[in-house]
Structure formats: C-alpha cells, structure tokens
C-alpha cells in the first residue's frame, strides 16, 4: 500500500459550524478506535492546550479580596469572578503586566446610569491579545471616582488553583486568582459506523470543538494530536513496529480501483462537480459515505444520489 493510497483512504474533514466552532470527521477507523481516539483527544483538548489568564491583580485602595471599593458597584469578589472570564492570548511564556486607569465620567453609562468598565479598557502589552473585549469587569457609580488596577498575566495549561497562584505570585501584595488557561470551552464527540469498499466493520469519529476565540478549533485539534504523538513516542522509546494496513484496504492491486478519481467514474458533470466541491476526490471516499451523508452534501440532490448509488452498485458487481 503506497503512502498516497494511505493518505487518500484516511480522512480528517473539517466543517466550520461557527466563528469559533468546528466539526472534525475522522475516518475510516478500525472498530473500537473511534472511542479510543475520541476520548484521548477530548481529554487533551480540555486539559493541555496552552493559553493565558490573569493570575493576580490589585485595585488601588484595597488590600484583600473581601473589601468593598467606594465608587464601584461590585465588591472585590465579584470583580475577581469577572476577571477570571477574560480570554487572553500571550505570545511569550514569561509573566507580563498590564494596567487600567479610568475615571467614572469618561465611561458610557448603562441603562442604570452606572459607568461600565470592560476588558477593552485594559492597557495590554504588544505581546498579548484580548479575546472578549466586551467582558464586563465592574461598574463605576461615582463619576469622580478614578479606578486604578494592575494585572499579572501568565501562560499555562489546564487549571491553576488559587493556592498555587498565590505561592508563585510576581508581586506578593497582589490578590491571587485561580486561573483557567485552556482556550477550549467545549469538546463533544460521537462514533458512527462507516464502510470502505466491501469492509463494513469500520467506524468514523465526529469531534466538535468550541474555543474562546484566542485559538482556532483547527489549531487546537492539531496541537492536541501533536501532544498525543509526543507522549506515545516517548513511551515507545526505540521500539519500531510495522504499520498496520489502512482500514478497509487490501493489497495495492486489489485497492487500486478505489483510488479512481471522481472525474473518471463516468458521472454527469453536475454530480461530479458537486462531489469535488465537497472535497470528495476519489471512489474510496465516495464509497465510505452513507446515503444520509451524501444527502447532506451541499448542492447534492436526489437525482445525484440515485446516480451515485447506481455507479457504486456497478463497481461492486
């Protein structure tokens, strides 16, 4: 089996569901590997993707988290909760500092007349990007009050408890925050049956990833896969094994017909173009799709489905 044949048989399709949400379809897989891969990728995506967060802060005029700030509607605990939801991306690994200084009269009032302070008011260094600028930090209810805050932003993976954050604080007089570094908000997966040629005992993995906007779902997916590869390579050491054949593949001679390009199958131009536009490039990929999946393809109608079914039946005779 050539490398090209392996690459053509194994697919990892990406479907964008929204600005920060994508669906990944991985197929074909040996039976049982759908859950093995799905669970591994999900755990790594939620725990090990690199991100940035505020780990400590200070407000001029306060020295602990149980204070109230005259001129601010929220108490310090409420402000802490708001700071933890600010999404950041840092391009350097070392801690960086940021600040905020704003007067109540400089802000736009909300419907209650309070001046809203948001994440966009933070003066960030050039190496740090903000993912949700509209996230509210607090409200100023005194037009003459000047809010001065200082922040420490760090990079990390997973979750940092407030005890760990407080122990390693850059400034000991600042209030520590527990930090959620992961930029991946949600991961869902499901496993379905699929087929390649005459082999029907195969699976496909459908993985849906939602991020906070500081990383694309595709980049998060590739980083998670790379982390798993590095871990397994470290465990394998110098041991080498012969690669297993691609699921559903036989010998190169037996499988050569599956690699026929869509353009050479004798389909009508309309049907062939619809398949190619949906990234279906050869007969192997076409046979691996169920009727329901074919119906879901963009620009693929009932007439095209009937034509494809006839062509697949003809190939299997």
- pLDDT for res 303: 85
- Where does the pLDDT of residue 111 fall: very low under 50, low under 70, confident under 90, or very high at 90 and above? low
User: Domain spanning 50-180: which CATH class is it, in words?
Assistant: mainly beta
Which residue, chain included where needed, has tokens 């950041």?
88
Beta-strand pair 175-176/96-103: unpaired
- pLDDT for res 257: 57
Give the pLDDT mean for 161-178: 75
Model pTM?
0.69
Give the DSSP per-residue string, 74-118.
SBHHHHHHHHHT--EEESSSS-EEEEEEEEGGGSPB-TTSPEEEE
Which of 61-75, 124-138, 227-241, 284-298 bottoms out in mean pLDDT, i.e. has the lowest? 284-298
- Residue 261's nearest CA partner among 280, 289, 287, 288 is 280
State yes or no: pLDDT of 100 exceeds 90.
yes
State yes or no: pLDDT of 248 exceeds 90.
no
| Cα(40)–Cα(36) distance, integer angstroms | 6
| Cα(138)–Cα(73) distance, integer angstroms | 7
E strand segments, 88-245: 88-90, 96-103, 115-118, 128-130, 136-140, 146-157, 159-160, 175-176, 179-180, 184-196, 199-211
- Where does the pLDDT of residue 238 fall: very low under 50, low under 70, confident under 90, or very high at 90 and above? confident
- pLDDT for res 170: 64
Residue-level length of the chain: 317
Q: Mind listing the pLDDT tens digit for each residue in 30-47?
A: 888 999 999 999 999 999
For the chain, the domains span 50-180, 260-317
Give the pLDDT mean for 105-131: 81
State yes or no: pLDDT of 199 exceeds 50.
yes
Spatial neighbors of 174 by CB under 8 A, at least 6 apart, are 56, 57, 58, 150, 152
State yes or no: pLDDT of 244 exceeds 70.
no
- Residue 88's nearest CA partner among 44, 171, 150, 154 is 154
- Where does the pLDDT of residue 173 fall: very low under 50, low under 70, confident under 90, or very high at 90 and above? confident
Note the CATH number of domain 260-317: 1.10.150.20
Q: Mind listing the pLDDT tens digit for each residue in 19-78?
A: 899 999 998 888 889 999 999 999 999 999 999 999 999 999 887 778 788 889 999 999
| Cα(49)–Cα(183) distance, integer angstroms | 7
CB 275 within 8 A of CB 262: yes
- Where does the pLDDT of residue 222 fall: very low under 50, low under 70, confident under 90, or very high at 90 and above? very high
Which of 151-165, 221-235, 257-271, 299-313 bottoms out in mean pLDDT, i.e. has the lowest? 257-271
- Where does the pLDDT of residue 109 fall: very low under 50, low under 70, confident under 90, or very high at 90 and above? low
Q: Mind listing the pLDDT tens digit for each residue in 249-286?
A: 544 444 555 667 888 778 888 888 888 888 888 877 78
- pLDDT for res 242: 66
- Where does the pLDDT of residue 7 fall: very low under 50, low under 70, confident under 90, or very high at 90 and above? very low
- 244-272 in b/e form (b: 16+ CB < 10 A) is eebbbbeeeeebeebbeebeebebeeebb
Which of 57-66, 116-125, 138-147, 165-174 bottoms out in mean pLDDT, i.e. has the lowest? 165-174
- pLDDT for res 120: 93
| Cα(44)–Cα(228) distance, integer angstroms | 8
- pLDDT for res 66: 80
């Amino acid at each position: 089996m050539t490398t090209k044949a392996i690459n053509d048989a194994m697919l990892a399709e990406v479907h964008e569901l929204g600005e920060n949400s994508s669906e990944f379809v991985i197929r074909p897989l040996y039976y049982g590997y759908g859950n093995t891969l799905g669970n591994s990728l999900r755990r790594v995506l939620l725990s090990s993707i690199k991100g940035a967060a505020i780990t400590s802060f200070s407000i001029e005029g306060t020295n602990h988290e149980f204070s109230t700030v005259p001129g601010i509607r929220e108490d310090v605990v409420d402000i802490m909760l708001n700071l933890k939801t600010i999404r950041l991306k840092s391009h350097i690994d070392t801690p960086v500092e940021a600040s905020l200084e704003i007067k109540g009269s400089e802000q736009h009032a909300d419907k209650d007349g309070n001046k809203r302070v948001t994440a966009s008011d933070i003066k960030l260094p050039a190496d740090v990007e903000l993912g949700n600028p509209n996230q509210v930090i607090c409200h100023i209810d005194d037009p003459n009050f000047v809010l001065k805050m200082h922040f420490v932003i760090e990079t990390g993976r997973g979750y940092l408890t407030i005890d760990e954050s407080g122990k390693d604080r850059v400034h000991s007089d600042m209030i520590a925050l527990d930090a959620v570094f992961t930029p991946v908000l949600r991961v869902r997966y499901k496993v379905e049956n699929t087929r390649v040629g005459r082999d029907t005992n195969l699976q496909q993995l459908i993985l849906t990833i939602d991020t906070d906007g500081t990383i694309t779902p595709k980049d998060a997916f590739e980083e998670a896969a790379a982390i798993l590869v590095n871990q397994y390579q470290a465990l394998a050491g110098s041991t080498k094994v012969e690669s297993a054949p691609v699921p559903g593949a036989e010998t190169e001679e037996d499988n050569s017909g599956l690699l026929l390009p869509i353009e050479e199958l004798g389909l009508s131009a309309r049907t062939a173009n619809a398949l190619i536009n949906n990234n279906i490039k050869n007969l192997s990929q076409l046979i691996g799709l169920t009727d329901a999946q074919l119906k879901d393809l963009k620009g693929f109608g009932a007439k095209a489905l009937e034509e494809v079914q006839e062509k697949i039946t003809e190939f299997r005779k």
